[in-house]
């Protein structure tokens, strides 16, 4: 007499799924020695749940097979509560609220919910958060400044998921729709302003190059110096002054004091400081005042992003501005076009460019000083 499948014991085996093939509930059923319908009831909130022991056995089999629920298939089956995941690098950075608001407004208007995740630019954390999003059945994921492809994102793409990324000009991943930001041009705009004021010794305050966006900014800075014949004045603090470990600092503004101290020791002859964002520029202005220097009389300081506080701090920051809310709207509309089929998906690299940035000249930049700075140590 054949034993009932409920009496069979599961046997621990290695994941033998062919590489690149996505596991299904049928594969789980085969491994766990149960029926596909039982797997479905165990993995969903069924009105006819399975026993705790049975569910644990099925979950173990699903884990062995690296099973991820097919969010799009569920949506087509239920037609209920469509959602989109958004991954940002830093939730405390003032650059992101307007960007996320633009995405959220478009999504909600079209009946989508959003799930927001803060990855802190950590590879493993990003991977775990993507897995959590897939468990929530998101139909698309928008990643801001994607630098590395995680296993969960790759699996999401292979299963037909739509992935849109806001990236630098040199970041390209197969199967990802890249909305590219020209950070090289941002630096050129900033440098053109400072050089136009008469500055010839310009420092760049930049954190470690752990993403393409920052590398693009450095590239634009260097190209501008070379174009003006100023290649001998390359001052990139945080990269070149032995201050690379900033893990104990909580914000860009906190890092400013370290940057300024190194800068004053090594390059007080500089007359202008270009900061990687407005948060750092704000901290630099405060650190210079602490050392007895004035902005812009002693040093011109400018940043990027036109953060909400940049117009109201003292002195008001000159900055390279961008329409963050409009960018967010563009990203979400692009995603919705992919989901409804009006924009064709492709396994090849897809790229689209955002609107250009522009200069907002305020009080923190002026013509270079005509006197030498005396630094006491």
Among the residue ranges 5-14, 284-293, 365-374, the one predicted with the least confidence is 5-14
Higher-pLDDT residue of 27 and 368 is: 368
Long-range contacts of 69-74 (CB under 8 A, 24+ apart): 69/43, 69/134, 69/135, 69/137, 70/22, 70/159, 70/160, 71/134, 71/137, 71/138, 71/139, 71/161, 72/139, 72/159, 72/160, 72/161, 74/137
146-196 per-position pLDDT tens digit: 777 888 888 888 878 899 988 755 556 677 888 877 888 889 999 999 999
The matching CATH number, chosen from 3.30.70.270, 3.40.50.720, 3.40.50.2300, 3.30.413.10, for 72-182+324-355 is 3.40.50.2300
CATH topology (fold) of 15-67: 434 Repressor (Amino-terminal Domain) (1.10.260)
Per-residue confidence band for 46, with pLDDT thresholds at 50, 70 and 90: low
Q: State phi, psi for 169 to the nearest 5 degrees.
A: -75, -15
Kindly report, as residue ranges, where domains of CATH 3.40.50.2300 are found in the chain: 72-182+324-355, 183-321
List, for residues 229-285, the tens digit of each pLDDT value: 886 555 666 654 333 333 333 355 667 888 898 888 888 889 999 998 899 999 999
pLDDT over threshold 90, residue 359: yes
Where residue 77 falls among pLDDT bands split at 50, 70, 90?
A: very low
Paired strand residues for 166: 144, 179
- 357 vs 197, more confident: 197
Which CATH number does 183-321 carry?
3.40.50.2300
How does pLDDT run across 325-349, given as a tens digit for each residue?
988 999 999 999 998 887 776 655 5
CATH 1.10.260.40: which residues of the chain? 15-67
Instruction: Please report which confidence band the pLDDT of residue 118 belongs to, taking 50, 70 and 90 as the band edges.
Output: confident
Top-confidence residue, 317 or 355: 317
Q: Is the peptide bond before 135 cis (omega within 30 degrees of 0)?
A: no
pLDDT at 298 over 70: yes
What pLDDT score was predicted for residue 108?
93
């Amino acid at each position: 007499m054949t034993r009932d499948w409920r009496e069979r014991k599961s046997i621990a085996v290695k994941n033998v799924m062919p590489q690149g093939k996505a596991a299904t509930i049928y594969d789980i059923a085969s491994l766990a020695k149960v029926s596909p319908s039982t797997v479905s009831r165990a993995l969903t909130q069924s009105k006819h749940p399975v026993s705790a022991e049975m569910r644990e056995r099925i979950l173990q089999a699903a884990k062995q097979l690296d099973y991820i629920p097919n969010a799009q298939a569920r949506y087509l089956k239920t037609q209920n509560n469509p959602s989109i995941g958004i991954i940002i690098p830093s939730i405390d950075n003032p650059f992101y609220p307007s960007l996320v608001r633009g995405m959220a407004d478009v999504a909600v208007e079209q009946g989508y919910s959003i799930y927001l995740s803060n990855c802190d630019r950590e590879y493993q954390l990003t991977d775990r958060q993507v897995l959590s999003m897939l468990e929530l059945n998101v139909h698309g994921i928008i990643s801001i400044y994607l630098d590395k492809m995680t296993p969960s994102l790759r699996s999401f793409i292979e299963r037909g998921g739509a992935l849109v990324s806001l990236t630098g000009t040199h970041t390209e991943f197969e199967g990802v729709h890249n909305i590219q930001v020209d950070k090289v041009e941002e630096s050129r705009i900033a440098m053109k302003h400072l050089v136009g004021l008469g500055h010839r010794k310009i420092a760049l305050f930049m954190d470690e190059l752990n993403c393409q966006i920052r590398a693009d900014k450095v590239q634009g800075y260097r190209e501008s110096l070379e174009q003006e014949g100023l290649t001998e004045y390359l001052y990139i603090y945080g990269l070149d002054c032995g201050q690379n470990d900033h893990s104990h600092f909580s914000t860009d503004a906190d890092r400013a004091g370290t940057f300024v101290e190194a800068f004053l020791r090594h390059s007080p002859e500089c007359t202008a400081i270009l900061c990687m964002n407005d948060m750092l520029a704000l901290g630099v202005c405060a650190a210079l005042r602490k050392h007895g220097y004035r902005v812009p009389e002693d040093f011109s300081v400018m940043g990027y992003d036109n953060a909400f506080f940049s117009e109201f701090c003292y002195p008001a920051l000159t900055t390279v501005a961008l329409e963050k809310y409009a960018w967010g709207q563009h990203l979400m509309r692009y995603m919705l076009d992919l989901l409804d089929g009006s924009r064709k998906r492709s396994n090849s690299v897809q790229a689209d460019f955002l609107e250009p940035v522009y200069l907002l000249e305020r009080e923190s930049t002026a013509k270079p000083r005509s006197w030498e700075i005396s630094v006491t140590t």
